[in-house]
Structure 1
């Protein structure tokens, strides 16, 4: 049944298969053109078919018949608990349902209309046992009349939550008008249209008097556009339909601040809250609704920016869905809703994307369907994936899964910094990491309408590690996890208010779309706790660094390495330095000199390894925790929920001053692999201070540094605060630079590297010099933290510079060897018109470098030089 809730996502209308017209520039004079009545009627009947499933579906399909049976049961059943059963039909009634009797809470009005909508759906669906039931019809129409007279009419003024008046209630009412159209008098239709016009006259603005100048954006604007469009169809009002359609144009535009979609894939609602996975889903669902409703009509959407919607699919949604689950770090306060898990949110957006695919260009259609098929196949959290969906959605998903021509997408291998919403994703086969941060631009969390009451640290550097344990962040996680000890966060154990940070240095760089580095200067405004945090994301490891951790208050400060939900017995094996720790709940221990640890996962491919450079002192805790959904959301159940957890934490003590930490997450590694890694780690920490946090990944040729202040580390010098990543692969050196503060105009970066040729660069990057060092100036004004890239490559003309650079640095230690190498290089340079002689010369040089590697030539330098030689040989061959 529909529960009384204030959440706007408590009820999401799902749409049928749509057809978006080919985009053309189209103009219409709505004042002078007269439309045939049957066009309105045709659109209304199309919308009714979308609501009911039409008449072409197979009622013998067990899932469809189960859906219809469930619908009937929700309306009436032998227990007398259906909406119709419990409806108050007395003449002197003061409410329609006893649990929705309030005259002052508009949420009750919204839910009342939704229950009538369920009854109307059963009355209108051809294979439903209540189809055209005259007693049911009378009670539905009487209920509509009662609500119009007593709860929702054009003479009233708003009170309580504006959303119910302007979106929730009219959204339900519009469908009631369509379903019951032939059973309503002209006066009844006019009355209900009038009340919609009263509270949703124009999708572009808020109606409530005190906010009348507020411009609607994002999901709210699209919601209102849908309401006005269907109201226009029912009322046969071409001008209203045109107003609804035209209101979408602003939504299609990319934004640079405030609400909407950003070019980096971010989506913001409520000014500063990352919301791809909640309001973003609502927007896409209802946008698809509007596009479908108006397709093929005189009011079809022809805005040339409509094509941006396809870009949103791949930039704003695909990277945030892991095996069917929408990442919680972009779901805002929706994480606290008992009925809305990460997987249910994922299924909702997947069905919307499939509808969008039906009208997309063929290449886009296939790509969308391929990724949706992958997600549906991988998401094993549903007993029946189509249960609870509409008939049209069932048909759409079954058609996809039975279509052998559509192959499921491969697993994502990607990494991306969403600099406009302080979020980062990093994908590798069978695992992914989500990172949530906040800044002076992005809020720490959202907690409106008595929701997300304990979301205090969800945006404070929380790390969401996804693997084959698909229900890790659902199945009771949020009401039971210790909300002041979330993984990745540095915490003083106190609750926090919704806030932005005074700090602007939050963001990072991505390189080659495969690796990312992120950082956050944090300073909690309602406490004295501050510091710097960085994360370095590579192929099989995530390095986490913290420094400058200071708090003047008399509170214990911790950094939470892990707080993982365990299996039902809570006895997942924990191994520390090769020894198994006690598995009973209630165990706790202060462990010294920890070099590595391993936690057994709940399912296969969900183990996690931990490496602690230089060893660490940790506090371990295995506990059963009990909470309720009511404690984190006023609309949730007060029934107790218990889950088991294992946490590992650095204890920085009371009133720490410049405390630090370092650890490496090793997703999906078993205990032997974790131990092996600890003996020969793939990373080296170059610096961990409040000025610079830097790491080198030894096998990938990556050096990454977050400069919170100007400085130098290894071969990189930054004259400004910046995030810098350098990768040397083959003969190509890639430099990626970003301004996480989003406040600077230019960054100057110097690399102590031999002279190289510019292979490619972004237009914002200017090369100041290539010798004796490489120096670039990067224009970051208005970049919104975007990564700027320049690529250098060795060429034959600069090969002598590389060898000479090694000599000057002392990496070639023998004069004779150096002279011999330079002679070979000179010969190669003299033969640039003869490919065969060049290849022979490069091979001779290669052989000498290999022979001297680790002897008279530094091993790391010889590897770099050999990469350059291989690159040059491949260039000649190709």
Structure 2
């Protein structure tokens, strides 16, 4: 029987985790570049250290709360360097003296017991205590006991309970809860307090419990932070890396309940992995993080990879093997276009990645098909060689999030923005995309062209559109999504949008499009970064700038074909755009960037509808042929319903009770119906408000499961001479579809 790990042993393990000193000692040359990179930053930090009456670093003002956090971040970085073998600061007396003096001064000036907090609560309950507690653990054996006690008292003052935001008088949730628990656990290792550790660990499982409102994980895999923002790509990854580090810290100790890691493993499969495309963690679930120059999709993915690899050490082999295979594939994809996860990597990340690369684990791809995240108004669909994401908003999900000077211009991105990822174009959403694309009219959206000011609808995603619904349904390899669009900024823009995703591409519909502003309104078919000289063709003619009445088709070289299925006025062009990261982020680089974009916009002057089919990857000849025989029929596209038929499948988004083709619905619904020897029906309540809905299908049927077993769970059936009426309980489904198999009766 193994000896229980002491708090001292766990504290040393934490220092191992944050410095990587065990790996460095075994193979110092492998980590020299990472150590050098950190040392360069520490040199700069130490050069700025200038303790005075009201500051510690000469360039940081301790009367500004972001600078308080930055002060403690620098101390943590210096402490890590001091404890890292191979660093020029390792065990350096001058570095240690600067640390001890600086921490003492910062405690005297601002982060101390009894100090009234100011500014953002995050500074006091997460930013400072996370960094300070790690510095305390590293310096435990060299700091005077009085200093350790003072720093512990400061953390206890600002963070008396990691479960609570004491100034907001509300529970801490999601990534924030994990951060506060980590801070308290490490503080309780530096100044021993087993009860604090127990309480913090007990607060962790709640962060991955299934929720039905506000922050956290939902049954369909959605992850929400700040109450209304899909955030797996930033806050979610912070949550995962935090959990992974805590589990790695406490593994095999009395403080970690058995099976804890496996209990959260499903979250990785449902909430994170599906959002990685071409080795990049999607913008669609990254909130205001899309505006950060140094944290684009490939960088966000490296953080996810690190978290998954670290967590894989504590989960069952079945999970671990699958995760390692996924990570192997993502790393290889990134390296193929010049984004190497080891460039500038920390020692910890380097060790995890080297272990994976040396393992010989084969890369794994995620399967094709759709994923609907009804709880956060998002959808993904993977095809062969392409993937797409769809971003919507509703009375539950905000238009967008801005705050802290980030993402102030992105209010249109929740209005149906589609991001097409092509295996042949992996850098589409890197290489300056978010600095140069037309953020007022993203691909897929319907927009009013009234200029809107920064921070339209306010900061921190507290404003949602007063729309009817956004949602959808899934059936095998197909997905249907719909959004009642209410434009931001009080323009009076309204529209009804539908997207039908299939293995070959997707159909887009717009109806009931109008505005009260008097400005022009457009639906954006395409707005894509292209190589200068890329050919854009409309009805067989190359265009650089043109307006085309009632086009039949368009083709963008290297991207695919667009089949127009309704009368329209199309503006098409390829043009250079300029912009900088500073335009949408307070501290982004000011350098002006130039990129070429191909744009297709349908203007709604005289046209309240739009319909087109997009076929990714097809050539010009295939596009022209598809225009002659598109394989899809629009059945209706109006304010009451939007419906189409392709082969044996019917897609219907009903905005109210209606009859269409062979079905009738008694209220708003999203429905896919596939005819065959047995009929398959997938239907949802996208409003997430109804207790039930009714679907009437022409013909006589009984309920049957695919294996022939009769089932009536949540569904009742009533058959007459001419039709079958289904009553479906939708309470508790949270917008997820009910899937029903119908067997024809004689």
Per the normalisation by structure 1, the TM-score is 0.80
Paired with 1:409 and 1:793, the residues of 2 have a C-alpha distance of 37
For 1:629, which of 577, 581, 603 is the aligned residue?
A: 581
The Cα shift of 1:83 comes to 1.6
**Which residue of the other structure, out of 481, 502, 505, is the alignment partner of 1:518?**
481
Change in Cα spacing, 1:783 to 1:411, as seen in structure 2 (3 Å) is closer
Partners of 1:140 and 1:762 in 2: how far apart?
68
* Displacement of 1:49: 0.6
> Secondary structure of the residue that 2:90 maps to in structure 1?
coil
Per-residue deviation, 1:161:
1.5
Residues 305, 119 of structure 1: alpha-carbon distance in 2 compared, 3 angstrom cutoff: closer
Distance 1:619 1:750, change over 3 A: same
* 1:273 alignment counterpart: 229
State how 1:229-308 maps to structure 2 within 5 Å. Answer: 229-302=185-258, 307-308=262-263
Partner of 2:688: 742
- Counterpart of 1:733 in structure 2 is 679
Residues of 1 paired with 2:274 and 2:23: CA distance?
A: 36
Aligned-pair CA distance for 1:59: 6.4
Matched, 1:774 2:724: yes
Cα distance between partner residues in 2 of 1:333 and 1:124:
34
The equivalent residue for 2:502 is 538
Q: Secondary structure at 1:55's aligned position in 2?
A: helix
> Is the 1:291–1:301 contact (alpha carbons within 8 Å) kept by the matching residues of 2?
no
- Who is 1:858 aligned against? none
| Alignment check: 8 A CA contact 2:658 2:665 kept | yes
Q: Which moved more, 1:495-504 or 1:150-159?
A: 495-504
Q: Deviations over 1:620-650 (max 9, x none)?
A: 2322222222221112222322222121101
- Distance change (3 Å), C-alpha of 1:61 and 1:687: farther
2:171 alignment partner in structure 1: 215
Give the CA deviation at 1:546: 0.4
Q: What is the rounded CA distance, in whole Å, between the counterparts of 1:616 and 1:674 in structure 2? A: 18
When residues 84 and 362 of structure 1 are mapped into structure 2, their CA distance, relative to the original with a 3 A threshold, is same
Counterpart pick for 1:427 among 366, 372, 382: 382
Query: Is residue 646 of structure 2 the alignment partner of residue 697 of structure 1?
Result: yes
Q: Match for residue 84 of structure 1?
A: 46
1:51 corresponds to which of 18, 31, 38 = 18
Deviation at 1:474, TM superposition (A): 2.2
> Which of the numbers 437, 460, 472 marks the counterpart of 2:392?
437
Instruction: Assess if the C-alpha contact under 8 Å between 2:137 and 2:189 holds in 1.
Output: no
Match of 1:572 in 2: 534
Q: Does 1:528 align with 2:487?
A: no
2:675 is equivalent to residue 720 of structure 1: no
Residue aligning to 2:59: 99
Deviations 1:29-86 (A, max 9, x none): xxxxxx99x711000000001111132446656551111121222223xxxxx22233
- Structure 1 221/546 Cα, relative in aligned 2: closer, same or farther at 3 Å? same
Conserved in 1, the CA contact under 8 Å of 2:700 and 2:719? no
Partner of 2:609: helix, strand, or coil?
A: strand
Counterpart of 2:593 in structure 1 is 641
Contact 1:88 1:96 in 2 (8 A): yes
- Equivalence for 2:103: 144
Deviation at 1:484, TM superposition (A): 1.2
Deviations 1:729-788 (A, max 9, x none): 5x2321001000111111111111354562355721222227532221100012110100
Judge which range, 611-620 or 455-464, deviates more: 611-620
CA displacement at 1:675 relative to structure 2: 1.7
3-state DSSP of counterpart to 2:672: strand
The structure with the larger Rg is 1
Q: Which residue of 1 aligns with 2:611?
A: 662
How far apart are the structure 2 equivalents of 1:492 and 1:463?
17
Partner of 1:158: 117
Report the Cα distance in structure 2 between the residues aligned to 1:126 and 1:555, rounded to whole angstroms: 63
Question: In structure 2, what is the equivalent of residue 334 of structure 1?
Answer: 289
Residue 633 (structure 2) pairs with residue 676 (structure 1): no
Paired with 1:330 and 1:368, the residues of 2 have a C-alpha distance of 20
- Asked if structure 2 preserves the Cα contact closer than 8 Å seen for 1:562 and 1:647, the reply is yes
Contact 1:252 1:306 in 2 (8 A): no
Q: What is the rounded CA distance, in whole Å, between the counterparts of 1:401 and 1:664 in structure 2?
A: 41
> Given that residues 63 and 386 in structure 1 are in contact (C-alpha distance below 8 angstroms), is that contact kept between their aligned partners in structure 2?
no
In the alignment, the residues of structure 1 paired with residue 247 and residue 623 of structure 2 have an alpha-carbon distance, to the nearest angstrom, of: 52
Distance in 2 separating the partners of 1:237 and 1:201 = 13
Residue of structure 2 equivalent to 1:831: none
The answer on whether the counterparts of 1:520 and 1:532 sit within 8 Å (CA) in structure 2 is: yes
Are residues 1:478 and 2:442 paired?
Answer: no
Deviation at 1:93, TM superposition (A): 5.9
The residue that corresponds to 2:473 in the other structure is 509
Counterpart residue number, 1:805: none
Deviation of 1:252 after TM superposition, in Å, equals 2.9
Per-residue CA deviation, residues 693-750 of structure 1 (Å, 9 max, x unaligned), is 111122xx22110011111111111112111101235x23210010001111111111
Please state how far the C-alpha of 1:614 moved relative to its aligned partner. 4.3
In the TM superposition, residue 434 of structure 1 has moved relative to its aligned partner by 0.4
Task: State the alpha-carbon separation in 2 of the partners of residues 702 and 408 from structure 1.
Answer: 35
The residue aligned with 2:457 is 497
Shift of 1:198: 0.9
Deviation for aligned residue 1:301: 3.4
Residue 268 of structure 2 aligns with which residue? 313
Alignment of 1:13-32 (within 5 A): none
Q: Distance in 1 between matches of 2:59 and 2:594?
A: 29
Q: Which piece of structure 1 moves more, 537-546 or 661-670? A: 661-670
How far apart, in 1, do the equivalents of 2:560 and 2:405 lie? Answer: 35
Structure 2 gaps of 5+ residues are: none
Cα displacement string for residues 493-548 of structure 1 (whole angstroms, at most 9, x for unaligned residues): 23242531112321010012x21000011123622110210000001121000000
Select between 127-136 and 215-224 the one with higher mean Cα deviation: 127-136
User: How far did residue 298 of structure 1 move?
Assistant: 2.0
8 Å Cα contact 1:294/1:301 also seen in 2:
no
- Alignment gaps of 5+ in structure 1: 1-34, 77-81, 583-587, 602-606, 802-878
Take 1:342 and 1:715, find their aligned partners in 2: how far apart are those partners? 44
Displacement after TM superposition at 1:307 (Å): 3.9
Query: SS of the counterpart of 1:125?
Result: coil
Aligned residues: 729
Quick one: distance in 2 between partners of 1:767 and 1:789?
14
TM-score (norm 2): 0.94
Offset at residue 139 of structure 1 (A): 0.9
CA–CA separation in structure 2 for the residues paired with 1:490 and 1:443: 16
Which position in structure 2 is the counterpart of 1:203? 162
CA distances 1:332-373 after superposition (whole Å, capped 9, x unpaired): 011111211011111111210111111211211111111111
